[in-house]
Amino acid sequence: MLQDFKTYIKVEGLFANSDRILLAVSGGVDSIAMVRLFKDAGFNFGIAHSNFGLRGQESDGDETFVKDLAVRVGAPFHVKHFDTKHFASGQKISIQMAARDLRYEWFNEVLTENGYDYIATAHHLDDQAETFFINILRGTGISGMHGILPKQGKIIRPLMFTTRERISAFALGLGLDWREDRSNKSRKYLRNKLRLDVLAELYKINPHFSHKLNESINHLRDVESIYNSHIAGITADLVQNTPEGILISIDWVYEYQPHDTYLFELLKPYGFTFAVVKEIVHSLDTFSGKIFYSPTHRLLRDRENFIIQPLADLKAESSHSDIYTLKRETAQIETPILLTTYETDEVGNLPIGKSSIACVDADKLTFPLHLRKWEKGDWFMPLGLKGKKKLSDFFVDQKFSLAEKEKTWLLVSGNDIVWVIGKRIDNRFRITSKTNRAFVVSCADEIKESENTSCGCSLLFG
């Protein structure tokens, strides 16, 4: 057992002989066997124990047992008490997930503060099998089928070469003592139910089941590596970061089969589940404009692109969609967008025809002017067209995406729209032969050349 332990560490490159390792020790047989192997191998290690306070006196008994063990083997001892139930309730997660998060966060603190190089846990091949089936039941895809990695960042699993049965035989053979957690017998936990009811039957069929499964998992890891390399290349070609959001061209969906799988891999970093991705693919046969959500992002199915935006950004934009005042004497504003203004009676020498500038009749304005986002029912009289037009119809004519609509600002006089900023002025405020004084508004110099900015300064105005 000791030789196999040292060989596995060397083959997998888990750590160097000179490294200091922090052992996560619960007091159960697996972690106790791990301590003995580290001691017999002559490695430099310390012991960390998490008291989750979930089993009253039994939890305190585990702590005392592990502390005494640390003294016997001459290892530094680290312990922390957690209010696990309170944390789980506050985070709205399960007790098991809460314990895991608390444990690893604290382990990293101990590692950093005490100069350890790695954290070692006592996971073994049976834990591997349980995790594999849990991930299959959860539908995690190929990324969930690679099982528990022997080394993941600062976390190492030096017992992943052997089984629970062999570990128990090793401990019994050396007369080691350990603590039994009665909750391990409870079938209310999925992991226990798999171990006691499902894996037990598989071992009856093949006593070497966990080793065979591990061989298959190793093959899956290789396949996953090739798969991820391919997806990385596709992502580099198809995913664009723009001021409007993250864009994925819809045309490519018809080029890559299976559509669902490719799109899932591209959208997975933004929190979209496979079920939602299937709905997105189905939306390709419907009109554009459908919106889909993940816990962190929103996806708009536009005419040519999927547009993905963080919900935090959308919330921030929404919180800044109030009405802003532009006084007559104000030469420049920076919020919500950067605009400069001036008045002139030289109406024959105006920058009419230049992009990002609106020249309007000052005498037809009611000051102060206001800036706001568009609202349902808004209308104006677009320059160059006859009569009124709903702003929503104007947006359709201009082929605005939902994201572009949300970023469009209006310059308003009283209740009348003077300028759909960056797009079109209202015909009622145009410069005519009767104009005596002009009011000129322009977008910021640094964004005049852009067609994808928050003020959309890209078209000519009259």
Kindly state the helix (H) or strand (E) to which residue 307 belongs, with its residue range.
strand 305-310
pLDDT at position 297, please? 93
Q: Are 70 and 47 in contact (CB under 8 A)?
A: yes
Average pLDDT, the chain: 87
Looking at residue 189, its pLDDT comes to 75
Phi first, then psi: give them for residue 200, nearest 5 degrees: -60, -40
More confident: 42 or 349:
42
Helices (H), 400-448: 402-407
Give CA separation, 380 vs 277, 393, 396, 409, in Å: 39, 11, 14, 14
Which of 219, 237, 459, 215 minimizes the C-alpha distance to 356?
459
Integer angstrom CA distances of residue 399 from 209, 309, 392, 403, 404: 59, 19, 11, 11, 9
Rg over CA atoms, the chain:
33
| Of the candidates 395, 343, 339, the residue with the CA atom closest to the CA atom of residue 364 | 343
CB 254 within 8 A of CB 273: no
Identify the pLDDT of residue 134.
Answer: 86
Buried b (16+ CB within 10 A) or exposed e, 75-84: bebbbbebeb
List, by residue range, all CATH 3.50.40.10 domains of the chain.
320-447
pLDDT (tens digit per residue) in 423-456: 899 999 999 999 999 999 997 643 333 333 333 3
pLDDT at 316: 63
The answer on pLDDT for 375 being more than 70 is yes
CATH superfamily of 320-447: Phenylalanyl-trna Synthetase, Chain B, domain 3 (3.50.40.10)
E strands, 374-453, in order: 379-380, 389-390, 409-413, 416-420, 424-425, 438-443
d(CA 171, CA 60): 23
**Predicted local distance difference test score (pLDDT) of residue 185:** 74
Residue 295: count other Cβ atoms within 10 Å of its Cβ.
Answer: 9
- Whether the Cβ atoms of residue 164 and residue 192 lie closer than 8 Å to each other: no
Buried/exposed 107-142: b ≥16 CB within 10 Å, e otherwise = bbebbeeeebebbbbbbbbbbbbbbbbebeeeeeee
Q: How confident is the model at residue 317 (pLDDT cuts 50, 70, 90)?
A: low
Decide if 315 contacts 405 (C-beta within 8 A): no
Q: Which residue has the higher pLDDT, 124 or 444?
A: 124
Q: What is the mean pLDDT of residues 335-358?
A: 85
pLDDT tens-digit series, residues 154-166: 999 999 999 999 9
With b for 16 or more beta-carbon neighbours within 10 A and e for fewer, the 20-41 pattern comes to: bbbbbbbbbbbbbbbbbbbeee
pLDDT at 456: 36
**What is the per-residue pLDDT for 460?**
33
Spatial neighbors of 179 by CB under 8 A, at least 6 apart, are: 26, 27, 28, 61, 62, 65
pLDDT at 119: 97
Give the pLDDT confidence of 392-423 residue by residue, as tens digits: 899 888 888 777 787 889 999 999 999 999 88
The answer to whether the CB of 265 falls within 8 A of the CB of 254 is no
- On whether the CB atoms of residues 180 and 32 are closer than 8 A, the answer is no
Quickly state the pLDDT bin for 374 (edges 50, 70, 90).
confident
What pLDDT sits at residue 111? 96
Of the chain, the percentage scoring pLDDT greater than 90 comes to 53
> What's 129's DSSP letter?
H
- Return the CATH number of 2-184, one of 3.20.20.70, 3.30.460.80, 3.40.50.620, 3.30.70.3270: 3.40.50.620
Closest by CA to 171, choosing from 75, 38, 34, 8, is 34
How would residue 355 be classed by pLDDT, with cut points 50, 70 and 90?
low
Which of 74-78, 378-382, 396-400 has the highest average model confidence (pLDDT)?
74-78
Span(s) in the chain for CATH 3.40.50.620: 2-184
Listed residue (85, 68, 86) closest to 77, CA to CA: 68
Q: What is the mean pLDDT of residues 329-338?
A: 88
Residue type present at position 425: I
Predicted TM-score (pTM) of the model is 0.62
Chain segment 10-53, per-residue pLDDT in tens: 999 999 999 999 999 999 999 999 999 999 999 999 999 999 98
Structure tokens at 21: 């390792």
